[in-house]
Amino acid sequence: MTHYAIAEAATVLGVSDDTVRRWVEAGRVASRREAGRLVIDGPDLAELAGGLLERPDPDLTRTAQVSARNRLPGIVLRVVADTVMAQVDMACGPYRLVSLMSTEAATELGLAPGSRVVASVKSTNVTVETP
């Protein structure tokens, strides 16, 4: 299972490390200690990210880090696949992105809720890569 350090979770959500720590302390997202550091399991972070997309926190200025090549770090929220195609829903900072790809590609990438991804946007196409 994928897990995220606090700084990684903050990058994915487009908030500060301190905000993620406050959410952990408030019980808004579950965490655990692994090798002496606080981590959040991927499915738990995906649930939080989905909730933030549905109900944004108006007190936060949420920004995504976007390079000139439009690469947005994110987390998979949901994968809906049939025998041929897969729909991959992602939260990349404050943005919800959806990628359509072959089921074979989604399976090869091991995409599941909580997977760490980078969405590369070119025009109307979104490609997904794992770090």
Closest among 88, 81, 10, 103 to 49, alpha carbons compared: 10
Three-point CA angle 122, 126, 128, nearest 5° = 120
Cα 37 from Cα 68, distance rounded (Å):
33
Q: Which two tokens stand for residue 118?
A: 């980078």
Tens digits of residue pLDDT in 10-47: 988 888 899 999 999 999 999 999 999 999 999 999 99
Q: What is the mean pLDDT of residues 100-122?
A: 92
* Residue ranges covered by each domain of the chain: 1-131
State the pairing for strand pair 85-92/95-102: antiparallel
What is the fold of 1-131? Answer: OB fold (Dihydrolipoamide Acetyltransferase, E2P) (2.40.50)
Closest among 69, 71, 77, 73 to 45, alpha carbons compared: 77
Tens digits of residue pLDDT in 37-87: 999 999 999 999 988 877 766 666 445 444 436 778 899 999 999 999 999
